[in-house]
Amino acid sequence: MAHVFEGKPDDRQADTAIPVSRFRPKYRALTDDEKALHDALKDKAGELEALYAKVKPGRYNALAITSLEQSVMWIVKELTS
């Protein structure tokens, strides 16, 4: 997965230490290793989503997709905090 943003940080990204905040008004720059891990996590989630699509559609499938989305959201939030 290619990184969409390859330029310099803008005003949304802090260049100094960021105080802990639930709402994260500024983002910190990720290291190359963190970017690679982020991409690997999203790639694996995509693989799981494709497997889930092979199961008949229904309520439980929808719940599984929602749980997968939530899981990825939380782990990426931990990675980027």
Query: In tens digits, what is the pLDDT along the chain, a chain of 81 residues?
Result: 455 556 666 666 766 677 777 777 777 888 999 999 999 999 999 999 999 999 999 999 999 999 999 999 999 999 988
- Domain borders along the chain are 29-80
Q: Which residue has the tokens 């229904």?
A: 58
C-alpha–C-alpha distance, residues 3 and 18, integer Å: 23
Is residue 68 within a helix (H) or strand (E), and if so which, with residue range?
A: helix 59-80
C-alpha–C-alpha distance, residues 55 and 57, integer Å: 6
